[in-house]
């Protein structure tokens, strides 16, 4: 008996952001893991090439040889995407990313997020737009976290952001894709990649985002807060690939009922 | 000399004249960091010739895990 052929690699179409091609459409954060070993294991299992990092004050005066993120995930091995998590004003976000550019030797691909509320972590769109304008003028390639408002998405694209990243639900909530119709409107109108950022809780959420036509998905808590983060990272890799393939394949139309069985209606016995 | 580093006052036993001296005194040499002096970024290539003076504010940042 012939063994079935090994399946060909599922995804061959690259994700292109700011002119650079990536194999993986899954971007992952590096926070909230129990230690750097788990961070690395989860990131590797996810297949992600782009990893978000936060910029924070160095613990001066403490053990300078304590393990650090850059030891676990080398910036030469992964594309670092510095974020502005925790920033509530455009000024703070811009300042953070200028430091990130210096920190990462002139690296310009960044994730802008300006929060509006510490309780919900909902984005402050006004400050986000202001920061995006400044950053684009200064030569940054801005992937921008925003609400799922199609008009705001259009304005961020017009400013020159290289990717629009609407929330699917609140950061860290794991509530999944709450408004697929808004996401669809954003995807249809955008000429730059649209990535769901925030709200994915489990693999089906990531697959749904991709089936809607998202170019990618960015997540952190869904992996880090899973009982087995490394296994969930693998699940998310498969879900993003499956969702992308389903989107490219084009799903069958939904019908209330089929009246068209999959088996022949002729040749029945009796 | 007293400097404010990452929001905290800090004195140095030995004299520090430049950003490079501060980085060395804090055992951060060769680490992946970025430095701001009084709100202005100091490029790594300029540590040695950027003077620090009493009451200067330095921010020293690095990359940490985040989403």
Q: Which pLDDT score is estimated for B30?
A: 87
According to the model, what pLDDT value does residue A12 have? 77
- Nearest chain B Cα to A82, which residue? B63
pLDDT for residue A257 = 84
The CA distance from B2 to the nearest CA of chain A, in Å, is: 15
End-to-end CA distance of chain A: 35
pTM for this model (two decimals): 0.91
pLDDT mean values, one per 10 residues, chain A (270 residues):
54 88 97 94 97 92 78 92 96 97 94 96 97 98 97 98 97 94 97 96 98 98 97 98 97 86 87
**Range with the poorest average pLDDT among A129-133, B8-12, B41-45:** B8-12
- State the helix-helix crossing angle for A125-137 and A90-103, rounded to 10 degrees: 40
- Residue A82 to chain B, least CA–CA distance (Å): 8
Confidence at residue A10, expressed as pLDDT on a 0 to 100 scale: 47
CA dihedral of residues A82, A186, A126, A135 (deg, nearest 10)? 40
Predicted-assembly ipTM surpassing the 0.85 threshold: yes
Write down the pLDDT at residue B1. Answer: 80
Query: Mean pLDDT in chain B?
Result: 92
pLDDT at A34: 93
Smallest Cβ–Cβ distance between B31 and the set A39, A64, A221 belongs to: A64
Pick from A53, A61, A104: CB nearest B64: A53
Contact A33/B65, CB-based, under 8 Å? yes
Q: How far apart are alpha carbons A122 and A65 in whole angstroms?
A: 36
Could you give the residue numbers annotated as active site of A? Answer: 111
Q: Which residues pair with A27 in a beta bridge?
A: A218
pLDDT (average), residues B13-31: 91
CA distance A102 to B32: 10
CB contact under 8 A, A58 and B31: yes
Reference A243, options A269, A270, A207; nearest CA is A207
| Average pLDDT value for residue range B11-29 | 91
Q: What is the predicted pLDDT for the residue at A216?
A: 98
For the purposes of burial, counting CB atoms within 10 Å of the CB of A260, is it exposed (0-12), middle (13-18) or buried (19 or more)? Answer: exposed
The answer, for B67 touching chain A at a CB cutoff of 8 Å, is: yes
Identity of the residue in B6, B33, B67 whose CB atom sits nearest the CB atom of A31: B67
Contact A70, B32 (CB under 8 A): yes
The predicted structure's pLDDT at residue B2: 87
Residue with tokens 């304005």: A155
pLDDT at res. A11: 46
* Chain B residues with CB-CB distance to A100 below 8 A: 34, 63
CA atoms within 13 A on the CB side of A112: 35
CA dist., res. A192 & res. A209, Å (int): 16
User: Is residue B37 pLDDT above 80, yes or no?
Assistant: yes
């Amino acid at each position: 008996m012939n063994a079935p052929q090994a399946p060909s690699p599922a995804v061959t179409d690259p994700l292109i952001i700011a002119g650079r091609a990536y194999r993986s459409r899954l971007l992952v954060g590096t926070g909230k893991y129990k230690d750097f070993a788990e961070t690395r294991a989860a990131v590797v299992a996810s297949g992600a090439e782009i990893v978000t990092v936060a910029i924070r004050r160095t613990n001066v005066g403490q053990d300078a040889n304590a393990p650090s993120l850059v030891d676990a995930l080398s910036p030469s091995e992964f594309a670092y995407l510095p974020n502005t998590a925790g920033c509530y004003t455009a000024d703070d976000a811009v300042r953070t990313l200028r430091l990130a550019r210096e920190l990462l030797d002139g690296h310009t691909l960044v994730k802008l997020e300006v929060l509006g509320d510490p309780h919900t972590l909902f984005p402050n769109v006004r400050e986000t737009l202001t920061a995006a304008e400044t950053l684009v003028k200064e030569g940054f390639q801005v992937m921008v976290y925003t609400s799922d408002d199609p008009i705001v998405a259009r304005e961020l694209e017009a400013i020159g952001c290289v990717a629009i990243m609407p929330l699917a639900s609140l950061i860290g909530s794991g509530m999944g894709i709450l408004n697929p119709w808004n996401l669809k409107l954003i995807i249809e109108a955008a000429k730059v990649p649209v990535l769901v950022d925030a709200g994915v809780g489990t693999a089906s959420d990531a697959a749904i985002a991709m089936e809607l036509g998202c170019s990618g998905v960015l997540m952190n808590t869904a992996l880090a807060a899973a009982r087995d983060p490394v296994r969930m990272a693998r699940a998310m890799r498969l879900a993003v690939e499956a969702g992308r393939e389903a989107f490219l394949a084009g799903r069958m139309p939904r019908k209330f009922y089929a009246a068209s069985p999959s088996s022949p209606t002729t040749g029945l016995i009796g | 000399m007293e400097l404010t580093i990452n929001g905290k006052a800090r004195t140095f036993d030995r004299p520090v004249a430049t950003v490079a001296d501060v980085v060395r005194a804090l055992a951060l040499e060769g680490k992946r960091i970025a430095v701001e002096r009084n709100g202005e970024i100091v490029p790594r290539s300029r540590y040695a010739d950027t003077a620090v003076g009493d009451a200067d504010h330095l921010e020293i940042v690095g990359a940490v895990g985040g989403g």
